[in-house]
Amino acid sequence: MTPLVAPNNRLNLPDGPRLESNAVARMWMERPVEFWEELGARYGDVCTVELGSIGTTVLFSHPDAVRQIFGLPTSSYECRPYNDYYKFVMGERSILLADGASHRRMRSLVLPSLQPRSFDRQLDDFQPLIDATCESWPRDVVFSPRLSLHLLSLRMILGIVFGSGLNPTAQKIADVFANEIYVDLGSLSAWTRFVHRKPLLREFIAAEAEARRATGSTERACLFDALIHGRDEAGNSLSHEEISDHIFTMLVAGVDTTAIALSWALYWIYDNPDVLGRLQRELGEGGRSSANLPFLNAVCLETLRMYPVVATPTGRKLLVDTEIQERQYAAGTTLLPCTHLVHRRADLFPEPDRFMPERFLDREYGSHEFFPFGGGARSCIGAVLAPVEMRIVLARIVESGRLTPAHTGPVKPVRHGTLIAPSESYQFIAREPQPAASTTTSEARA
């Protein structure tokens, strides 16, 4: 890190690199993991950076600080300034851009549809989607499964949102993604293409909303129905624009995250023969009850610990002076827990750089120690659904016994938009499947 400037408003803030905010933003985007590790090594549990347009940001990697930040009253901070750049993709009315009462209302509208009692019956639809994904892989040549995992993740979320992946509007949206948006995954290009296709997707969603309203049904069988029957602060029905923005938010927040988590999980499983063997044994033990795939669950958690796909929770920009760990932070400062640094603390996770799923069998971690889905009032609304999706997909792929790693070099964590994904060297070879997969969806879902 090259020291450049000394910000003059740093007197009461923790120390940090004297770098111009654009230089920090560049490192944050271009080599995020190395940059955080350098900050942690040099400044310890807390440091201050000037982070691009976000401004003065304090990065925390002590679990006690994380607990305090997650517990702050929502009236003491706002998140819109931190999430502002999402408005072009998700839309002005996205939950990510809301604060206060409006944010609470949006969460209470969508959260019930993302609980197991709501999405459970849609999980059976996943099996054919996973099989079709595996079938799409070329045989006996080096390839990357990543794009196919993004399309799979998209189809799973569409099934949850529309109540069935077979819904014609869900299928039309999936086709637009398959043919025009997910044609490659290069940096931000897929989401740039998405922004161009938003008017068409809005038309699809508006027509679906009209059709559902016309039935007069009051059933809330899926997230789309919940939005149709939802009300804004004034008690009015949501506009088509608002419904679209909520659905775009689910797609943007829920598709790439889950796909990249799956990509990392396959990397760790196939690069650790002991882990693969233990997983195969667990999956091979027939007659297991749904709660009894603890090692598979631990593999998912350890995957999310090693390289948290969403590298930090949402930054909280203080509206009032606030004390964290006996230090006062002035209004206007952004507080940001660093998930990567907390997840690599040796005092919490011995041998932190080793992939060891057993650690999650031996110990329960607090929500301030292990938090791949963030925490507090802004925690991820897909935090229950995503691990279920991961378990179902991984069980099916591992049982089919198709993949062998064939990386073309060291696999490193790199940016995929705002997320942390495996580098391009991440490659596999797929073989013909082995017969008789035994684990059913119901065993992997719980």
Shortest distance (Å) from residue 409 CB to ligand HEM: 25
Q: How far apart are the first and last CA of the chain?
A: 45
Helix axes 240-270, 273-284, angle to 10 degrees: 110
Task: Choose one: 4-12, 247-255, 355-363, 431-439; the region binding ligand HEM (CB under 6 A).
Answer: 247-255
Shortest distance (Å) from residue 360 CB to ligand HEM: 15
Give the list of residues 6+ apart from residue 232 with CB closer than 8 angstroms, or none.
105, 238, 242
- Does position 258 interact with ligand HEM (CB under 6 A)? The reply is yes
Structure token pair of residue 419: 């997320």
Looking at the Cβ atoms of 237 and 379, the one nearer to ligand HEM is 379
Shortest distance (Å) from residue 254 CB to ligand HEM: 3
Shortest distance (Å) from residue 138 CB to ligand HEM: 26
Under DSSP, is residue 59 helix (H, G, I), strand (E, B) or coil?
A: strand
Looking at the Cβ atoms of 303 and 430, the one nearer to ligand HEM is 303
Chain position carrying tokens 């942690």: 40
211 exposure class (CB count in 10 Å sphere: 0-12, 13-18, 19+):
exposed
- Does position 95 interact with ligand HEM (CB under 6 A)? The reply is yes
Looking at the Cβ atoms of 173 and 309, the one nearer to ligand HEM is 309
State the Cα–Cα distance between residues 344 and 37, nearest whole angstrom.
9
Q: What share of the chain is helix, strand, coil (3-state, %, to 5)?
A: 55, 10, 35
Looking at the Cβ atoms of 13 and 251, the one nearer to ligand HEM is 251
Looking at the Cβ atoms of 19 and 247, the one nearer to ligand HEM is 247
The 55-60 sheet, strands edge to edge? 46-51, 55-60, 334-337, 316-318, 77-78
Task: Choose one: 144-152, 179-187, 248-256, 270-278; the region binding ligand HEM (CB under 6 A).
Answer: 248-256
Shortest distance (Å) from residue 345 CB to ligand HEM: 18
- Does position 266 interact with ligand HEM (CB under 6 A)? The reply is no
- Does position 257 interact with ligand HEM (CB under 6 A)? The reply is yes
State the Cα–Cα distance between residues 169 and 9, nearest whole angstrom.
53
User: β-strands 55-60, 334-337: how paired?
Assistant: parallel
Give the list of residues 6+ apart from residue 172 with CB closer than 8 angstroms, or none.
204
**Number of residues counted as binding ligand HEM (CB under 6 A):** 28
Residues 309-368 close enough to bind ligand HEM by CB under 6 A: 309-310, 313-314
| DSSP-assigned states of every residue in 297-312 | HHHHHHHHHHS-SB-S
Shortest distance (Å) from residue 315 CB to ligand HEM: 8
Residues 372-391 close enough to bind ligand HEM by CB under 6 A: 372-375, 378-382, 385-386
Quick one: DSSP state of residue 231?
A: B
Shortest distance (Å) from residue 125 CB to ligand HEM: 16
State the Cα–Cα distance between residues 16 and 19, nearest whole angstrom.
9
- Output the CA torsion sign for 237, 241, 243, 245: negative
Looking at the Cβ atoms of 269 and 430, the one nearer to ligand HEM is 269
Quick one: DSSP state of residue 320?
A: S
- Does position 254 interact with ligand HEM (CB under 6 A)? The reply is yes
Site string for ligand HEM, 408-427 (x = CB under 6 A): --------------------
- Does position 253 interact with ligand HEM (CB under 6 A)? The reply is yes
Residues 97-116 close enough to bind ligand HEM by CB under 6 A: 107, 114
Residues 67-86 close enough to bind ligand HEM by CB under 6 A: none
Looking at the Cβ atoms of 89 and 386, the one nearer to ligand HEM is 386
Shortest distance (Å) from residue 42 CB to ligand HEM: 25
Give the list of residues 6+ apart from residue 245 with CB closer than 8 angstroms, or none.
90, 91, 92, 93, 94
Looking at the Cβ atoms of 421 and 430, the one nearer to ligand HEM is 421
User: Which residues are at the interface with ligand HEM (CB under 6 A)?
Assistant: 95-96, 107, 114, 157, 249-250, 253-254, 257-258, 261, 304, 309-310, 313-314, 372-375, 378-382, 385-386
